[in-house]
Structure 1
């Protein structure tokens, strides 16, 4: 029996809802979610099976201006995904303008794309129809336009089926039993980063990153040792908080996510260190897995 297998890049401006969509499609909490923009920094592969077909989703950072070296890396990650895939899902909030979509079209994507209107949860049917109408002049550019409401329970199987229609016939590229190619420590890292984004305000989450130093596994307990990296001493103080309260909140939130994923108890030990200017230093970025070309 022939099967379809292909890569599907999930693309959009920061805060378009890419990670939330992926977690919903996967039925598992695997992608980092935050209300703050530009939380996702690297590409990651999430593997979904649908009616004996294999969809390999590529989670990407949001399309944005490249201000710092780290932002440059993030933009390159998104552009690589657009160039290396079979199908693109372009996400745009239904309440927004068409500007981000027009900017995407200027990239001249070679792969066919589905246009997904996200964040329709609080919109009436008439408002959704008005949002769809805004894209009438672009209807020769996309293969489908689909409004999505995760909270209202849009038809997940329908969207997966629409994606599969445009994938090439090909044997599976990955074991159907696995959900992601990311190692467990990389997922743990993202959960800690998510906890920082959710518990620390202002710009500090953008000046921080996480290095998982060690993971010790046993039958019913996972021990995780990780270092939170910031750029200034004042940022370290805020991450730790008065009497260590902020760091405890970060650890608790991250541990809950880890335990849901690994289905066992987790002991999480967090350290905080200062590395001045790490987000503008190629060597420091490379140590964290962000390799800048050129």
Structure 2
């Protein structure tokens, strides 16, 4: 009998969740940014490990905030934690254990979890061992603790072998050939958002979103029409840039990402629209797919 189950990947903002998942699946499927709180919604990433199927759930970072959009993001992460068979908690090696203690409080159903010590490339082996000793006081809480180095030392099996051990025996839930349950248009949206984060500074990326208006598959290329939504007229000007330089740069970056994933040429057409105060208004959030129930 094969094993199959859902594994939520959680941690504070910018803990390396999306980078880990892209590495595990061997494809860029989720948005990665050095800026915190880039991921807004749950996304399923499917990894086959030998004869077993793991459905990883990428989640927004665990954090506290009063902002409506951020409340939606926290709720997404908490739902993922409650609905899964196993949790991977990512703890950057330089973090204090207080982040982990906060996670334990939020894990209301006491779902079993593995602790991954991330970003160990930036510190010495001695510091890694010292941090592992710090977590020993919680050894009755986690199933195991694994130091993770995506750049060099860690292999996929180091993580996946341990994950599969804790999954239930179950037939596959999805076709083994697919890597994600996300629609291609949603991945395109995240690639455009990622390009905004990479090319526009400060808080503006957090107050933008993307609507995919149309995806047309022609014989030799994909035609994608998308609208970037901002909160203020001044932000629209900054997204477009002098002589449309900024939006051209965003479009070029996003197009390259799309083409790399699909293996096809892409014609990407971007527009910018102002939707005043959309991040602070429940109705505005719902129209963009963020149903805030709090």
**Counterpart for residue 260 of structure 1:** 260
1:244-274 deviation line (CA, Å, top 9, x unaligned): 1111111011111100111000000000011
Aligned to 1:24: 23
Q: 150-159 or 191-200, which moves further after superposition?
A: 150-159
Within 5 Å, which residues of 2 pair with 1:116-265?
A: 116-265=116-265
Cα distance in structure 1, aligned partners of 2:170 and 2:139: 29
Question: Normalising by the residue count of structure 1, what TM-score does the alignment of the two structures yield?
Answer: 0.98
CA distance in 2, matches of 1:118, 1:29: 19
Give CA deviations for 1:151-194 in whole Å, capped at 9, x if unaligned: 12412112111000000000011111111111000000000000
Q: Name the structure 1 match of 2:49.
A: 50
Find the counterpart in structure 2 of residue 72 from structure 1.
71
Paired with 1:67 and 1:28, the residues of 2 have a C-alpha distance of 34
* In 2, Cα distance between equivalents of 1:124 and 1:115: 19
Report the CA distance between 1:280 and its aligned residue.
1.6
Consecutive unaligned residues of structure 1, counting only runs of 5 or more, are: none
Partner Cα separation in structure 2 for residue 70 and residue 126 of structure 1: 40
Q: What secondary structure sits across from 1:135 in the alignment?
A: helix
Q: Tell me which residue corresponds to 1:83.
A: 82
Q: Deviations over 1:1-24 (max 9, x none)?
A: x00000000000000000000001
Deviation at 1:128, TM superposition (A): 1.1
Larger deviation: 106-115 or 238-247? 106-115
Alignment partners' CA distance in 2, 1:186 and 1:121: 32
Supply the RMSD in Å over aligned alpha carbons: 0.9
The match for 2:98 is 99
Q: Distance in 1 between matches of 2:66 and 2:184?
A: 30
Per-residue CA deviations over 1:215-266 (Å, capped at 9, x if unaligned) read 0102320010000000001111111111111111110111111001110000
Counterpart of 1:34 in structure 2 is 33
* 1: CA distance, partners of 2:113 / 2:77: 15
Q: Which structure 1 residue ranges, 4+ long, deviate > 4 Å from structure 2? A: none
Offset at residue 292 of structure 1 (A): 1.4
With the length of structure 2 as denominator, give the TM-score of the two structures. 0.98
**5+ long unaligned stretches in structure 2:** none
Does residue 12 in structure 1 map to residue 11 in structure 2? yes
**Could you list the per-position Cα deviations for residues 114-141 of structure 1 after superposition, in whole angstroms to 9, with x for gaps in the alignment?**
0001001122211211121111101111
Match of 2:120, SS?
Answer: coil
Secondary structure of 2:122 counterpart: coil
SS of the residue 1:215 aligns to: strand
Q: How many residues align?
A: 293
Q: Equivalent residue of 1:154, what SS?
A: coil
- Following superposition, the deviation at residue 109 of structure 1 comes to 4.3
Q: Which string of whole-angstrom CA distances, capped at 9 and with x for unpartnered residues, describes residues 36-67 of structure 1? A: 00000000111110011010001000011132
CA distance in 1, matches of 2:27, 2:288: 25
